[in-house]
Amino acid sequence: MKKTFIKSLSLLLAALMLMTALPMGVFAADHVHSYNWVPAKDATATAHGNIGYYACSCGKCFATAGGSEIPASSVIVHNFDKWAASGSEHRKSEATCQKKAVYYKKCTVCDTYSETETFEIGSTIPHTPEDELEWTVPAGADCTKAAFTRTKNCLMCGTPVKTETIAVGSHDLKLVPAEAATCKKAGHENGEQCTKCQKWTWGGATIAKKDHNMVVVKGEEAIAATCTQPGRTAGMNCQYCGEQYKKPEATPALGHNYQKVTKRDVTCMEDGYTEDGELCLRCGLVVKPDKYFGQTNAIVVKAPGKHIYNYKAYTAAAISHEGCKEHWECTATKGVTEYFIRPTKKDTAGNDVWILVTDKEAENYTLNDGTYVYQQVTKSDVITDALPHNHSWKVNKDKSVPKTCLKDGKEVTYCEICGKEIETTLTATGHQYEWVVTKESTCKEKGRMVQQCKVCKTTNQSTELDLAAHDMKLTEKADCTKGGNAVYKCAVCGYTETKAVPKRDSHKDDNHDGYCDECGTQFCTCLCHNDKWYGKILYFFVKIWWQYFGIKEKCECGVVHYTKTQTNVVPNVT
């Protein structure tokens, strides 16, 4: 038991030394990543899956513990098992005379489209009808100089739908009105053109083909990425031809952009922080990084964003209270008082007047109520100490905060005469562990004891206790004046032991409890059983004395030796 306790205590001390030394290295740098393994998970129709990766409490992801960072978007597994194919917003390409329409798969959870996993739908379509096609002639064709072959080619695949040979002859001229250029083909000006070789005899200057005019597809607007959520680019389509299409593409989450913040009181216009932490400049999330227990958002105290001015007139200091100059106090923030005075300037008569918001002097001040400017000052600028006296200090229990094992407290005392307050920091003591038995050992089951803080009852570690000795009770006695075996049985587990009792002349009762010290037999200690010569003589005189007075006496062994009858006749001794 002693060795086990010493060993456990040694391990505890070693652990405490390690924990004490660890923060010196851990927090020496700005941030030490904590690598928590996140197992792989399949995507479902309603939730993203992920690959296996290591995550840090700061929001960064890693392929291996201690390895290089990987984008948070790369660990997401999308569900492309189901998708919609009802409109062009999912298409990769339309059906042609050569192939079916091809569509991207879309994740069932978000607006991410698959580049590699696509599917075909419908069937191929016929070549462009002949009546919708125009003749295509070889470059430089001139029907007055040489014969040539012209074709009508499918607009989708370019395959000739109709072919015709034009013999040498004269031009077949016609006036052709101007045609505007589009994103699908070039245009031309007014002119005269041969219907067979398409040569312009006058006019017909080419108007260059226009670029596609890409506009956002309804329902596929861009979504900006945030610190924690991925975004997407917009789906774009040409508003003229409707054929040029750019699908939405996922953009990775930006991740938090932290800067350190230190503990401070909240003011009317500035948030406060109950502890040191980190603030994301992008989304405003404030966290307290913790290598072991993740992060918490409970360190921000929001500012009310406004001032509530209360006028305080001049008060002379006295023994019983402080004094003050004329000023304004703002108590919009609970527990924090801010002090303001009115900056003044001289008017033409030499009198002090308020500085108004519209005045140039007001540019040096930022606090105002819409009309007048207030200059913020410290408490010592407007509050004067009470007159000298012997303070009568008393603890303000409402403002005092008791310390805990891990968190500092404070004790606020005030003078009952002048009201002056003094705040004293109560330094946290740390846990004060002691070993406490939570379960007693028996001969059947081991007990347990734990290290428990004497102050807050937090437990640290536990250890088993050794089995206790049997609680042996005598169940079968053996008279040592006769010899034999005495049987002892454990009252807890039933274990039995037999002890040989050697024969002896008489019982031994050194503690005079009426039980034999050797065999445990209860025996009578009455004088009537004393076989010694002096006992017999003494007993003889006692009998005579009892008989004379008619005393009724019962021996410890239960035998009545003397009785007194109604006739007062005393019988002989039994």
Residue 59 exposure: Cα atoms within 13 Å on the Cβ side: 17
Tokens of 526: 């009455």
pLDDT in tens, 332-350: 777 778 899 988 888 889 8
SS3 call for 545: helix
pLDDT in tens, 368-385: 777 888 888 999 999 988
User: For residue 526, what pLDDT is reported?
Assistant: 65
User: For residue 13, what pLDDT is reported?
Assistant: 44
Q: Which amino acid is at 115?
A: E
User: For residue 294, what pLDDT is reported?
Assistant: 56
Q: Which amino acid is at 310?
A: N
> SS3 helix, strand, coil % of the chain, rounded to 5?
10, 35, 55
Low-confidence stretches of the chain (pLDDT beneath 50): 1-29, 87-88, 559, 562-574
User: For residue 24, what pLDDT is reported?
Assistant: 38
pTM of this prediction?
0.35
Cβ-Cβ contacts under 8 Å for 372 (sequence gap 6 or more): 342, 354, 355, 356, 357
d(CA 520, CA 504): 14
SS3 call for 130: helix
DSSP-derived secondary structure for 383-420: EEPPPS----EEE-TTT-B---SSS-EEEEEEETTT--
Distances from the Cα of 506 to the Cαs of 355, 484, 510, 523, in angstroms? 116, 14, 12, 10
Closest Cα partner for 51 from 59, 65, 62, 60? 62
DSSP-derived secondary structure for 347-360: -TTS-EEEPBTTSG
**347 burial via Cβ count (<10 Å: 0-12, 13-18, 19+):** exposed
- Give kind and range of the element (H or E) at residue 345: strand 344-346
Tokens of 490: 């454990």
Please measure the distance between the N-terminal and C-terminal CA atoms of the chain and give it in whole angstroms. Answer: 59
Beta bridge partners of 207: 187
- Give kind and range of the element (H or E) at residue 166: strand 160-166
d(CA 127, CA 96): 8
Strands (E), 172-276: 173-176, 187-188, 191-194, 200-203, 206-207, 214-216, 231-232, 236-238, 245-246, 250-251, 258-261, 272-273
Helix (H), strand (E), coil (C) string for 112-124: CEEEEEEEEECCC
User: For residue 26, what pLDDT is reported?
Assistant: 38
pLDDT in tens, 22-40: 443 333 345 678 888 889 9
